Structure 1
Amino acid sequence: MANNVKQITKSQGNYLSIVGDTYRIIIPGKQTNGEFAMIDMLIPPHGGPGPHAHESFHESFYVVDGEVEFKTEEGKSIAKKGDTITIPKGGAIHSFKNVSNGLAHLLCTVVPAGLDDFFEEIGTPLQEGEFLPPPPLDENAVKKLMAIAKKYGQVVYPPDYLD
C-alpha cells in the first residue's frame, strides 16, 4: 500500500473572508476522507468570531503570531505566540478575538473535518493578502447564518453571550 505524502505550498488552498478575517483552507476534509482539516487564520486587530459551539469535533489553535483572547463559559485567557488552545468535542461555547495591535495568525486543526465545509459555504472567496470588512449582520443574515451553522452541527450565540 503506497503512502501519498503531499506537500502543500504557501500559495495553495482556498482563501475565504469569514467575519472580516482571512482563512485559508490548507487541508480540506475532502483530502483526508473527513478525518481532519487544517485552516490558516489571519485575524486583524479586534477581529475574530463570536460565541459558537460545535459538539461533534475537536478544535485546536496554535498561535503563530499575535495575542488572541479566548473566551468560554469558564472564563477567558490570552494566548500568545507559541501557545496552543484546545476546544474538545462536546460543545463548549467559545469565541476568540485578536487583542493585539497587529495581525494575529492562528493554525486551526479540526478532527474530524467539517468546519472547512461550513467556511466554504459562508465565506467569500478572495486572494492571498486580501481582507474584506465584516459583513453587516441584520436579522435575516443572522437567521441564515444560524441555519447554515446548524446544518454543520454548530450553534451560533449572540455576540455578548460570553460577556
Structure 2
Amino acid sequence: MKPSPFLSNGTPENSRAIPGALFHFLATGEQTDGQFSLMYIEVHKGNEPPPHTHKNEDECYYIIEGQIRFWIGNEVFDAKAGDFVNLPKNVPHRFELQSDYVKELMWITPAGLEKWFWDNSAPSPEMKALPVMTEPPPAELIAHFVQSLSEYGVEMVKP
C-alpha cells in the first residue's frame, strides 16, 4: 500500500490519556504504510518510564516546551525547547522531566509501537491528561505493562 497525503492535528478522536500524559496520534502506521508514527505528547513530571530498550524501532523526540534529561546508553543529554534527541533501537534509555510539564513530538520508526500507547490509554474527549498517580501503580498493572510491552519488543532493563 502506498501512503496517501494527509493533514492531521490533535482532535478528541485521535487523543488518548494516561495518568499524567495526553497523546495526540498525528500519524499512525496505518496512515504511513508502517514506515513511522508521530505523536504530540503533553506530559507532566512524575510519569517517566523505567529504563528500557526497544528492539524494533528507533525513537526520536523534538522538545517543544520544557526540559528533559535523557540517559541513552552511556550518554546524558539535557534537552530543552527546540532540541531533537535520537534514541536508537537496542540502546537502553530512560528520561526524567526537569520541568513540571513538557510538550514534545515523538517519532517512532518503523511504526507499530503507537498501537501499544493507543491500547493502554483511555479516550480523552476533553483532551486532558488523567491525574498523575500519587501512589505507585499496583503490581498487576506493572506486570501487564511489562508483558504487553515485551510483545512489542520493549524490554525493561536494570538501571
| Structure 2 length-normalised TM | 0.86
Identical aligned pairs, as a percentage?
24
* Structure 2 residue matching 1:108: 3-state secondary structure: strand
Q: 1:42 Cα shift?
A: 0.7
Aligned partners of 1:13 and 1:25 also within 8 Å: no
Report deviation, 1:142: 1.4
Which consecutive unaligned segments of at least 5 residues does structure 2 have?
A: none
Q: Determine if the alignment matches structure 1 residue 100 to structure 2 residue 107.
A: no
1:117-151 CA-partner distances (Å, limit 9, x unpaired)? 11112112213541213455222111111110011
**Segment of structure 1 superposing worse, 5-14 or 123-132:** 5-14
Match of 1:77 in 2: 77
Q: Give the TM-score taking structure 1 as reference length.
A: 0.84
Distance change >3 Å, CA 8–CA 146, structure 1 → 2: same
1:43 paired residue number:
43
Aligned 8 A contact 2:22 2:128 in 1: yes
Cα distance in structure 2, aligned partners of 1:3 and 1:143: 36
Cα distance change on mapping 1:13 and 1:115 into 2, 3 Å: farther
Preserved contact between residue 20 and residue 45 of structure 2 (Cα < 8 Å): no
Counterpart code for 2:60 = S
Q: Judge conservation of contact 2:11–2:24 (CA < 8 Å) in 1.
A: no
CA contact (8 A) 2:49 2:94 kept: yes
Q: Which runs of 5+ in 1 are unaligned?
A: none
Give the distance between the partners of 1:3 and 1:53, measured in 2 at CA.
29
Q: Counterpart of 1:111? A: 109
Number of residue pairs the alignment of both structures matches = 156
Given residue 116 of structure 2, which amino acid in structure 1 is its aligned partner?
Answer: F
Measured in 1, the distance between the counterparts of 2:103 and 2:126 equals 14
Report deviation, 1:36: 0.6
